[in-house]
Amino acid sequence: MNEHLLVLNAGSSSLKLGLFTAEPEPMALATGHVERIGSAHAELHLKQAGGAVIADQGLGAQGKTHQEALQAALGPLLQAHPGARVRAVGHRIVHGGRSYAEPVVLNDQSLSYLAELVPFAPLHQPHNLAGVTAARAAFPEAQQVGCFDTAFHRHHPFVNDTFALPRRFYEKGVRRYGFHGLSYDYVAGRLAQMAPLLHQGRVVVAHLGNGASMCGLSAGRSVASTMGFSALDGLPMGTRSGQVDPGVLLYLMDQEGMAPAQISDLLYRESGLKGMSGIGSDMRALLGSDSPHAAEAIDYFCFRARRELGGLAAALEGLDALVFTGGIGENAAAIRERICRGMHWLGIELDERANAAGATVISTAFSRVRVLVIPTNEELVIARAAARLSR
């Protein structure tokens, strides 16, 4: 019987999963997701790595909890792979706090610590941990492995790890953690394979999607990130605000009478591209719209990315490469072009034809800074960690 790995990424109302081989190198066999968990309209979508559909159906009453959603997905998944034996389950967990700079085996002690971090990521951490609970019930003999979005950034220098607040808050954990670390880990590894000399240099990776951030890498290690204490900071996102003057939050409380829960909902769910455009969070829809508000939302998104690119280049003391990844970064040539436009002073010269064609290298031969597009694969990073820690 073959040994396999299961990868889970649990969100508030969704569960992404993937079945991988365990040895010698994890390889995806099937992927899928359950959406609208907790509603009467929960749906399951599963397909083989080659694209053949395993399941595409509504779950009805079977999708009320993450545990029920996982059980509903496992039936057809394991039926399609009857020889599978899950030896380890790898989990994406948004926050690892100060303690975890590497993936860890999840046990009662580590899970207790991660539960204490819920106030640091209230909209992500509880659902990540719900996925662990569901997997422990479904696979009691399997090793559970946690992989953290914050871990990749835990080696930042102090100046990129702190806020200018009294020191006691830093000691309590009020720090710049950074997120999207699993994506940056994968891209750094791919760059090391594709262009070892660039990997050893100064690189900015732009993970642009519904969640968006940028990271400065020196010799493959994170030096600075646009995201900070929470996944709200930095770039505007699909529904998240990005950087906001703290005085705005004081104004919303004092003058608008908004409660913390209302402000949280505003910043996480009603802002960003959705809030600015009044249309929605999908960049494809905004690019196809003739609304002036959609155009302004895109302008702001690209402006902030350009501004952060300059700041990260300063933190790195120069720039050798810019890498685009994530749903927008990988697929929206128009956004890549607008971010790179006018950046000749930094050494960026875009090849418009290569960019439009979606090539891997989209800078000209004369560009001092190489510009690349590298698709990310967070699930593979998790699968590798699960394989390594369950041997």
| CA 316 – CA 310 distance, rounded (Å) | 10
The one-letter code for the residue type at 101 is A
First to last CA, the chain: 16
| Amino acid identity for residue 324 in this structure | F
Report the alpha-carbon angle 75-80-81, nearest 5: 100
Q: Is 265 known to be catalytic?
A: no
Do 88 and 145 contact (CB within 8 A), yes or no? yes
Strand residues in the chain grouped as ranges (E): 2-10, 14-21, 28-35, 43-48, 53-58, 84-93, 104-105, 143-148, 202-207, 213-218, 221-225, 321-325, 370-373
Amino acid at 195: A
Give the separation between CA 80 and CA 1, rounded to whole angstroms: 15
Q: Distance between CA 242 and CA 227 in Å, rounded?
A: 8
Name the catalytic one among 108, 149, 254, 351: 149
3-state helix, strand, coil in the chain (%, to 5): 40, 20, 35
- Could you list the beta-strand ranges (E) of 288-390: 321-325, 370-373
Alpha-carbon span 169 to 174, nearest angstrom: 5
Spatial separation of the C-alpha atoms in residues 45 and 23, rounded to whole Å: 26
CB 187 within 8 A of CB 220: no
Residue positions annotated with a catalytic role: 149
